[in-house]
A and B are shown apart, each in its own frame.
Chain A
Amino acid sequence: MSLIWKLLRQHISIPQFVGFFFANVIGMAIILLGIQFYNDMNAVYSSEDSFMREDYMIVNKEVSMLNSIFGNDNTFSQEEIDNIKEQPFVEKMGVFTPSQFVVKAGFDIQGVARFSTDLFFESVPDDFVDVDKEGWIFNPEDNTIPIIIPKYYLDLYNFGFAQSRNMPAMTEGILEAIKIDITARGNQDEQIYKGHIFGFSNRINTILVPQKFLEYANKRFAEKQENKVVRVIMQVDNPTDENIKTFLEDHKYVTDEDKLDASKTNYLLKVVLSIVLLVGLIISVLAFFILMLSIYLLVEKNSEKLQNLMIIGYSPAKVARPYQILTVILNVIVALIAVMLVFFMRKWYMNLFENFFPNMEVPSFMPTWIMVIGICIFFSVINFFVIKRKVLSVWAKK
């Protein structure tokens, strides 16, 4: 043990350091757990349904008896669209483009049955479709169309139709592999395309194709070009904003309540996690102050020794070093213990998650590592400079 440490460890208060230690382990673990949990939750959300972001809302007009009887249409006029766009809670807005031509789709299932049906398509601007953009394209030269359908179509088939007809149930994987013949007709023209299911969505209740395809096909097959908008999609900054609800009610617009609920849950989760993170941060900062106070007292009590060391030729940096190393070691030990705690707690809750979502990929532990290294460096750097300053003040003291 070096002589200088033998001198400077005098007056170290073990209770103060223990206090710092536990407070900081708790604070740090809360921060890390909050961040890791948020990251893991996001993975759960996105594994559920990654096609639409949670803060998107689809809005249409209420369909009422009067509309039907008097033939009032439920389309949005340009003023109405502009009005929505101008609402303060709307960050971005896009309209649904419907297909304006005849669409027929057919496919065979294992040679057993031939399905054929009239269909319609809709599209939204690509930046509202939150998918890996690769594959979500349409190229007129190559006749394939990716399609996203609502998940409950599959449920309808599996639990309704297939059950009653003694047909085999189908998985998402099988359906995605099936090639669908899409016939587009109109304007004395006809074209057969190869469609394939690109994905299933819980959140979007339409049959979605790339915007580019509809722009192209409407131009080619539609008898008359008209831009009737019956649904709009908007990105909002906060789905729980009361103003949204009021606005929708005032204008007799409707949106998917479930969607609102999911968004609310997610939003609440964010709020709760923010509070948890804040509490963790406050505990950590307080713990940091305990450590600083403790070191201040230590330097104060040992100021005569520090001064005498500097008088016999030790530089301020050299006499500050033992305390700096002490704080860095404490910070690192605290960080490692906090990481360990988070690791075990995460193991526990990830088991729960996996029960609910067996297919989900386990997200990385990286956010915790990045955060812990960041906090550790941040606190250590501040400790470093505060101690140096304190020691320099001893130099100046007579």
Chain B
Amino acid sequence: MNIISLVNTIPEVFASVEDLNSEVWRQQIQLEKGCNYLFEANSGTGKSSLLSYLYGFRRDYQGQILFDDVDISSFNIKKWTDIRKKTLSLLWQELRLFPELTAWENVVIKNNITKFQNKKTIETWFEQLGIDDKREAIVDKMSFGQQQRVALIRALCQPFDFIMVDEPISHLDSMNADVMAEIISAEAKRQGAAVIVTSIGKRLELQYDHIFKL
């Protein structure tokens, strides 16, 4: 997939709002593979909703979202499962890890279906992100900042054209945030993929091609 297009898209809850001042909603925008995008917003402006729409998780919007000119509302379950394995990766704001599994298991459960990363790479990421000693720890017992790093590694265990990260560094110090930015941009570059970042304050330090104000 090379291009994601939003055509007059707007969440249904905003549909009745007349004077919406947004660079995204009710606009025509295109996101291209290989570029970096930042969506900046105050909370409650529909940033996580946007990512949910793009990920096929929610459909409560008006207007159109197109993947390479195909309206995503026509996709069936099989297609979405495929997209989530091969085309789109999402690091959720609420992480959506499995609290009863260990950090390592949370990553492996994803890599098991994609068979994309080797063990060595995953181990290196654990080291780089400073959670090497937490590999066998139950996720439920880890801090949110540590969990964010586990979720990132999981998000990287698949091929993608677009990787979307929803406030990925909200609970990280700046050093870890920089490591995360490095790992994401390196992996995105290796795959020729686009990075879509959202932020309400602290932003992930990348070379952004475009910054949208929601």
Contacts and interface: CB of A to CB of B under 8 A. Distances in A.
B58 A398 contact: yes
B85 interface: yes
Given A308-B96, A312-B110, 11 more contacts: A3-B105, A3-B108, A6-B101, A6-B105, A309-B109, A311-B90, A311-B92, A313-B81, A313-B158, A314-B81, A398-B58
Given A3-B105, A3-B109, A4-B109, A311 B57 contact: yes
Contacts of B110: 312-313
Nearest to A392: B77
A169 interface: no
A308 B57 CA distance: 11
Contact of B81 (A3, A315, A398): A315
Given A7-B100, A398-B58, A310 B81 contact: yes
Given A392-B77, A395-B77, A398-B58, A313 B100 contact: no
B115 to A, nearest CB: 12
Given A10-B100, A305-B98, A308-B96, A314 B105 contact: no
Given A3-B105, A3-B108, A7-B101, A315 B78 contact: yes
A316 interface: yes
Nearest to A316: B77
Nearest to A305: B98
A10 B98 CA distance: 12
Contacts of A10: 100
B114 interface: yes
A7 B106 CA distance: 11
A311 B77 CA distance: 11
Interface string B112-156: 111000000000000000000000000000000000000000100
B57 A312 contact: no
A314 B113 contact: yes
A313 B77 contact: no
A97 B96 CA distance: 88
12 contacts: A3-B109, A3-B112, A7-B98, A311-B84, A312-B110, A313-B158, A314-B113, A315-B77, A316-B81, A318-B113, A398-B57, A398-B58
Interface residues of B, number: 24
Contacts of B113: 312-314, 318
Interface residues of A, number: 19
Q: Is the interface of A mostly helix, strand, loop or mixed?
A: helix
B157 to A, nearest CB: 9
A136 B158 CA distance: 78
Interface in A313-330: 313-316, 318
Contacts of A392: 77
A311 B81 CA distance: 8
A319 to B, nearest CB: 10
A308 B98 contact: yes
Given A311-B57, A313-B113, A3 B101 contact: yes
Interface-centre pick from A3, A7, A305, A313 (highest chain B CB count, 10 A): A313
Max chain A C-beta neighbours (<10 A), residue from B101, B108, B109, B154: B109
The 5 closest A-B pairs by CB, nearest first: A313-B85, A313-B84, A315-B81, A3-B109, A308-B96
A259 B28 CA distance: 91
Contacts of A4: 109
Nearest to A2: B112
Nearest to B58: A398
A152 B91 CA distance: 92
A209 to B, nearest CB: 73
Contacts of B108: 3
Interface string A361-398: 00000000000000000000000000000001001001
Contacts of B112: 3
Contacts of B55: 311
Interface string B56-68: 0110000000000
Contacts of B154: 312
Interface string A1-34: 0011011001000000000000000000000000
Max chain B Cβ within 10 angstroms of own Cβ: one of A310, A311, A312, A318: A312
Interface string B71-112: 000000110010011000010100011101100010011101
Contacts of A311: 55, 57, 84, 90, 92, 96
